[in-house]
Amino acid sequence: MLHGYQRPDIEVADYFDEHGALIPYGQRWDEQPPAESYSLTSHVQRFAPVPQVAQALLDCLREQFEVRCFEDPGLARHMRIQPGHVVRSVRVFPMDSRCAPLGMVFTTFPAVHLELGALYRATFPPCGCDGCDEVVPEILEELEIQVSAAASGGFGEFLDRGMDRLVHCFDVDGTGFGEQSRGLEDISPARLARARAILPSSRVWAPWPLR
């Protein structure tokens, strides 16, 4: 995890269903969730810790590393997030081109859209609907892992041309790389061309320079 980073104190609240029963998030559905639950987003305020943790991570990055950090409304447009949903957009560029750049878009949901390196994107929470039944502590941990990996030199990114896929890997504290992959069909030729120009030849982005 990031040196000097400490997760802010998070207020954990209980939420109840229409019958007054406590909702056990993460264990809400014994079997397949009801179809209508995928179109419901009740108690979205439970995701309020996500932007709090994201801001704490940004603060730590600014304090610990040689970076340029600035507001960039264009990032939200680049990620195709509707303007009415955007709270703020932030870019962080390490002062070394061998390091993975980072971007965060905070939205009203509340959620955080993360961009790392050349082509990696993720959203926290990934969905937020009742059917997906996401667990906030797990979301926070994954956000911390991905940002920490990028800053510490544990973020890998490369194009696997043989398999026609994009591969991302995360390693924090030497625990080993966890791999994610996706096809290239929904990435525009222009984005792929830009990515090829900056992707690290070693397949792993360099650690960010410390202050």
CB count within 10 Å of CB 5 equals 18
pLDDT the model gives residue 164? 85
What pLDDT shows up at residue 175?
A: 66
CB 185 within 8 Å of CB 165:
no
Q: Position of tokens 């305020």?
A: 45
* Residue whose tokens read 């609240």: 13
Across residues 145-163, what is the average pLDDT? 93
Question: How far is 140 from 151, CA to CA, in rounded Å?
Answer: 17
pLDDT (tens digit per residue) in 73-123: 999 999 999 999 999 999 999 999 999 999 999 999 999 999 999 999 999
**CB-based contact 60:5 (threshold 8 Å):** yes
Return the SS3 of 91: strand
Q: Flag the least confident range among 12-16, 112-116, 151-155, 200-204.
A: 12-16
Tens-place pLDDT, residues 168-177: 999 977 666 6
Please count the other Cβ atoms lying within 10 Å of the Cβ belonging to residue 180. 11
pTM of structure: 0.94
Distance CA 87, CA 73 (A): 10
38 phi/psi in degrees, rounded to 5: -75, -10
Token pair recorded at residue 163: 């398999």
The pLDDT value recorded for residue 163 is 75
pLDDT tens, position by position, 11-22: 888 999 999 999
pLDDT at site 177: 66
How does pLDDT run across 29-51, given as a tens digit for each residue? 988 999 999 999 999 999 999 99
- Helix 136-152 to helix 49-64 angle (10° resolution) is 20
